[in-house]
Chains A and B, each alone.
Chain A
């Protein structure tokens, strides 16, 4: 049966994690891994439960997650919009291309302190730096995705006399959807890094800040609790994306 077969990779993936975490637990229990180096999974689980049990910690996690989603959405939507506008204008694209290609050579993070001096501290510079991290990846992905839309499909849209907006909504975006989704996924990953690392460096709230605070106070239990929560959140978000992305891929027959 088809559904049974497609479920096998998922089961294997889950099994892999269970085995690895199991081994880790065993090594800790028999003293092969000193708990001074790394706590056992069960311990981290307890730490995570302790963290989630406090409303202040939940608020910190929620704050970070909210800003991650805001930054990812703005970077994604903005990147798609810029890509859509730039793509048909060949000269503009040719002019921009080298900048887009070398953008990630500059560690965007160095602008974070500069941003704070402009906007003041708070959530705004954190969201802005996270958008800056992701948006160029989204622009590049959009350009590549649009290049991949076949000539005959583009021409069909023209023959049907679509308005530019209809063309984007009904042809370009759906035709490019599988790649656009992977671009969005990149934006989410960049936003995770951007938000949590900024909180780490300079801020007074959010899960990154809480991790740094616990670390500074030698409170490793809390630190590991937060780290565990972030890992689970990031994994869950990526998984959610993959499930959405699987739909058009199925249709493409890939």
Chain B
């Protein structure tokens, strides 16, 4: 293990991965790739990229929800077929269960896995606390704001203690302050559980603040055009924003992203 807690053991390997879709009209959409990416076990990697470049598509492949049209996706050296154990995912859209209370939403996966009652209760209590949902434990999702519903989904995934956590724009519906605090919580959890995290975000600040590495994707079909190492220590939190290095990193990922976004806008207007 290196000093910042990562290892060089690959957790996920993507080799020349591509994804294509057939549209309803019979057209062909080249949504992703070819893309090569290796996630080291225990690292925190963020992906930023223009809208529609295939970020969610990438997560679908990693979580086994979709098979790539070409290339190889490996988890711990094995090809990903079906949803592998130990992978948790938070989707971009609200996926809270409307018929369950907040606490039952959070306990859902634990119950299905058949954990002991005490264990479930303890984990749910802890999740309610760190997601700031204690007051809403008996509320139904329809009574919560979009941001709080998303927190329910995050909690529901994290209580399972996955070793690979895939997050698709999880803080999108949150206000800036809560975003920062949630980021700190996520970092803490990441350190405690030694999980590997892949975070997709539209917020460059968030990417720079949280990650060990940041991948920048091109416009569709998304390829990896830049991979930036932040060099933050494992013990870090949102206060890194005041480090002088922070601004450098921000401009380092903004430059290629700006070019891509321009390109993307121009293509859409053509």
Which residues of A are in contact with B by a Cβ distance under 8 Å? 150-153, 155-156, 158-162, 166, 170-171, 174-175, 177, 248, 251-253
Task: Please state if A159 and B97 are interface contacts (CB–CB under 8 Å).
Answer: no
Task: Please state if B99 and A155 are interface contacts (CB–CB under 8 Å).
Answer: no
Closest partner residue, chain A, to B109 (CB atom): A160
Closest partner residue, chain B, to A173 (CB atom): B99
Asked if B89 is an interface residue, CB under 8 A from chain A, the answer is yes
How far, in Å, is A245 (CB) from chain B's closest CB?
A: 13
Task: Please state if B98 and A251 are interface contacts (CB–CB under 8 Å).
Answer: yes
Task: Please state if B93 and A159 are interface contacts (CB–CB under 8 Å).
Answer: no
Task: Please state if B112 and A159 are interface contacts (CB–CB under 8 Å).
Answer: no
Distance A239 CA – B39 CA, assembled complex (angstroms): 58
Task: Please state if B140 and A155 are interface contacts (CB–CB under 8 Å).
Answer: no
Residue of A160, A171, A174 with most chain B CB atoms under a 10 A cut-off? A160
Chain B 75-110 interface residues, beta-carbon cutoff 8 Å to A: 83, 85, 87-89, 91, 93-95, 97-100, 108-109
Task: Please state if B108 and A155 are interface contacts (CB–CB under 8 Å).
Answer: no
21 A-B pairs (CB sep. < 8 Å): A156-B91, A156-B95, A156-B97, A159-B63, A159-B83, A159-B87, A159-B88, A159-B89, A160-B108, A161-B85, A170-B112, A171-B97, A174-B100, A175-B97, A177-B99, A248-B99, A251-B98, A251-B140, A252-B98, A252-B142, A253-B142
Task: Please state if A174 and B143 are interface contacts (CB–CB under 8 Å).
Answer: no
Task: Please state if A175 and B91 are interface contacts (CB–CB under 8 Å).
Answer: no
* Extra 14 A-B pairs, beta carbons < 8 Å, given A156-B91, A159-B83, A159-B87: A151-B93, A152-B91, A152-B94, A152-B95, A153-B97, A155-B65, A159-B65, A159-B88, A160-B108, A162-B112, A170-B108, A171-B97, A174-B97, A175-B99
How far, in Å, is B1 (CB) from chain A's closest CB?
A: 29
Task: Please state if A158 and B95 are interface contacts (CB–CB under 8 Å).
Answer: no
Q: Which of B88, B108, B112, B143 contacts A253 (CB 8 A)?
A: B143
Closest partner residue, chain A, to B85 (CB atom): A161
Q: Which residues of chain B are within 8 angstroms of A253 by Cβ–Cβ distance?
A: 140, 142-143
How far, in Å, is A170 (CB) from chain B's closest CB?
A: 7
Q: Which of A156, A160, A174 contacts B99 (CB 8 A)?
A: A174
Closest partner residue, chain A, to B110 (CB atom): A160
Main SS of chain A's interface residues?
A: helix
Closest partner residue, chain B, to A160 (CB atom): B109
Task: Please state if B97 and A150 are interface contacts (CB–CB under 8 Å).
Answer: no
Q: Which residues of chain A are within 8 angstroms of B112 by Cβ–Cβ distance?
A: 160-162, 166, 170
Distance A134 CA – B32 CA, assembled complex (angstroms): 47
Task: Please state if A153 and B95 are interface contacts (CB–CB under 8 Å).
Answer: yes
Q: Which residues of chain A are within 8 angstroms of B93 by Cβ–Cβ distance?
A: 150-152
Chain B 104-125 interface residues, beta-carbon cutoff 8 Å to A: 108-109, 112
Distance A156 CA – B88 CA, assembled complex (angstroms): 10
Chain B 156-180 interface residues, beta-carbon cutoff 8 Å to A: none
Q: Which residues of chain A are within 8 angstroms of B97 by Cβ–Cβ distance?
A: 153, 156, 171, 174-175
Closest partner residue, chain B, to A167 (CB atom): B112
Closest partner residue, chain A, to B143 (CB atom): A253
Distance A174 CA – B101 CA, assembled complex (angstroms): 13
Closest partner residue, chain B, to A166 (CB atom): B112
Chain B 138-165 interface residues, beta-carbon cutoff 8 Å to A: 140, 142-143, 153
Q: Which residues of chain B are within 8 angstroms of A158 by Cβ–Cβ distance?
A: 65, 83
Q: Which residues of chain B are within 8 angstroms of A177 by Cβ–Cβ distance?
A: 99
Q: Which residues of chain B are within 8 angstroms of A251 by Cβ–Cβ distance?
A: 98-99, 140, 142
Q: Which residues of chain B are within 8 angstroms of A150 by Cβ–Cβ distance?
A: 93-95
Distance A160 CA – B153 CA, assembled complex (angstroms): 12
Distance A162 CA – B95 CA, assembled complex (angstroms): 16
Q: Which residues of chain B are within 8 angstroms of A153 by Cβ–Cβ distance?
A: 95, 97
Distance A251 CA – B94 CA, assembled complex (angstroms): 16
Q: Which residues of chain A are within 8 angstroms of B153 by Cβ–Cβ distance?
A: 156
Distance A253 CA – B83 CA, assembled complex (angstroms): 32
Distance A175 CA – B96 CA, assembled complex (angstroms): 11
How far, in Å, is B26 (CB) from chain A's closest CB?
A: 17
How far, in Å, is B231 (CB) from chain A's closest CB?
A: 33
Q: Which residues of chain B are within 8 angstroms of A175 by Cβ–Cβ distance?
A: 97-99
Distance A227 CA – B161 CA, assembled complex (angstroms): 62
How far, in Å, is A4 (CB) from chain B's closest CB?
A: 20
How far, in Å, is A143 (CB) from chain B's closest CB?
A: 19
Distance A153 CA – B97 CA, assembled complex (angstroms): 7
Distance A251 CA – B141 CA, assembled complex (angstroms): 8
